[in-house]
Chain A
Amino acid sequence: MKVKQISIFLENKKGHLLEVVDALGKAGVNIRALSIADTSEFGILRIIVPDPDSAKKALKKGGFTFNENDVIAVGVSDRPGGLAAALKILSENDINVEYLYAFVTKSEERAVVVLKTDDLDKSIKALKKSGISILQPKEVYSL
């Protein structure tokens, strides 16, 4: 149920994001979803890719500082209030969302949101129980 996400440290310097994305592109890695968290001094690029291992290989070769961790991908209906429904369930179960970002999908009826919470297992259970769809890794990578 969990999806692999790669986080890359971005030092606050010109062209750094380009270097990372360029390294991935040259290695033939297609970025399925991405988000950047930043402070005034540095940032973290988070990406979801179909083949995390080859992405890691390319990043390692480029000397980047990165880390892999698990997140969940939730399918919410693409209409007003869709995301709120999912978040409400987490809140009721006392789960904190650390961050989330949206996927670029080609399908019209549903939006996919990447979620990192302080308890992924509990989140999966709670969301499933409420009938919210959680995407399988395979599904996500091939979106």
Chain B
Amino acid sequence: MFWDEELETISQNKLKELQLKRLRDTIGRVYFNVPFYHKKFKEINIKPDDIKSVDDISKLPFTTRQDILDNYPTGLLAVSRDEMVRVHTSSGTTGKPKAIFFTKNDIDRAADLIARCLVMTGMRKNDVLQNMMTYGLFTGALVMHYGAEKVGILIVPAGPGNTERQILLMKDFKTTALHITPSYALYLAEYIKSKGIDPTKDLYLKRAYLGAEPYSEETRRKIEDIFGIDVYNSYGLSEMNGPGVAFECEYKEGMHTWEDNFVVEVIDPDTGEVLPDGQKGELVFTTLQREGMPLIRYRTRDISRIIPERCPCGRTHRRIERIFGRSDDMFIVKGVNIFPQQIENVLMSIKGVAMNYQIVLESLDNMIVRVEIAKDLFDGNVMHLVNLQNRITEELRKEILVKPKVELLEPGTLPVSEGKAKRVIDNRTL
């Protein structure tokens, strides 16, 4: 089933035409209305009329995160501030956040894309979505909320935390879907288990949408198994509305990027060159429908690739592969690039390991992986624990090529996150 069948299954040719029309329109608006872009285009002597095909987009300059920060708060607006109805910010670790503004139409379009995603993954009017994301400056909860409302889904705006109450709401309102961070989903799973609740019998869940933090394929499978539900990968970032930029369909093989709303490119992060479909590189997005704060060739720092093959679901919008890593999350130990997801993948595949873990960076050459042992697998045998520790060390070494120090912890030792999990603790003074 489709939310917008005509646009979701539009022919590739027509999609290109539509993209070009919208791209030219967007470029015209930023050129004349946003001084930052006007200056940037002038510097390389580009005029809106020079864009004659979608591929000509590669002539345009990139927008970086720093550009958004430099123009904080309202420097990148393409229409008057008075037309804006909402501002979201994206967490900056230091100093000022990135501010993203929305007009009324922008909100409506973002919601419409979410509606496509929800219907695509089986949600209908009679479903109940428990939204466990933080309502506030962060885009996740609110953008999802508006999209679900558009479909006519009953929303339980629970926000994160207070696990006991979450379970009560899930039971009493017969929640069929969760919007949740992966770390909280894992915690919820353990909690439910400890209370003797059988999610497949005592709850009504059918699916979950994970977001806000990267997670591994193993984690997805684990959550699917424990709750007996489908989990759909999705991709989004505040700079591009938040959730709903790309979403998996029922086939769960890559995420459809809504190309009538975004031009997606994959570039070589070092040279900035556009890479052919199928090749791994940094995702770059251009908004095609945004009024308030259009962004041209925004560098996401997320690593993925475009899957050019047609999807059996009938949607023509090309898919991107699950994010391999966010280049920001990457850290280097002994000169090797490591993504936290690689570590999570290994840990989640080992029996005897609970779901919480932490990576501690001690120096350029030393990292500690702190792992909670699974309570029900503890049998009092020292050798079994030593073997587990050795096995984790060895499996990690195979995956990341660096031998970490592995510490076994008692379940419940590590801080439980009910929002965004902090998995990497950096104690290095560089």
CB distance from A26 to the nearest CB of B (A): 19
CB distance from A40 to the nearest CB of B (A): 10
Report the Cα distance A65→B378, complex, angstroms.
7
Q: Quick check: B410 and A37 within 8 Å, CB to CB?
A: no
Instruction: Pick the interface stretch among B62-70, B156-164, B273-281, B382-390.
Output: B382-390
Closest A residue, CB atoms, query B383: A98
Report the Cα distance A9→B381, complex, angstroms.
10
Q: Quick check: B407 and A41 within 8 Å, CB to CB?
A: yes
Report the Cα distance A102→B421, complex, angstroms.
45
A66 and B379 contact, Cβ closer than 8 Å, known pairs A11-B408, A42-B408: no
Residues 230-271 of B contacting A (Cβ, < 8 Å): none
B360 at the interface (CB under 8 A from A): no
Q: Quick check: A11 and B380 within 8 Å, CB to CB?
A: no
A105 at the interface (CB under 8 A from B): no
B283 at the interface (CB under 8 A from A): no
Closest B residue, CB atoms, query A37: B382
A46 at the interface (CB under 8 A from B): yes
Number of interface residues of B (CB under 8 A): 17
Residues of B within 8 Å of A41, CB to CB, are 389, 407-408
Chain A interface residues (CB < 8 Å from chain B)? 5, 7, 9, 11-12, 37-39, 41-42, 44, 46, 63-67, 69, 98
Q: Quick check: A11 and B410 within 8 Å, CB to CB?
A: yes
**Looking at B380, B409, B412, B413, which has the most chain A CB atoms within 10 Å of its CB?**
B380
Residues of A within 8 Å of B380, CB to CB, are 5, 7, 44, 46, 66-67, 69
Contact for B378 among A9, A12, A39, A98, CB less than 8 A: A9
17 contacting pairs across A/B (C-beta < 8 A): A7-B381, A9-B378, A11-B408, A12-B407, A37-B382, A39-B382, A41-B389, A41-B408, A42-B408, A65-B373, A65-B378, A65-B410, A66-B378, A67-B378, A67-B380, A69-B379, A98-B381
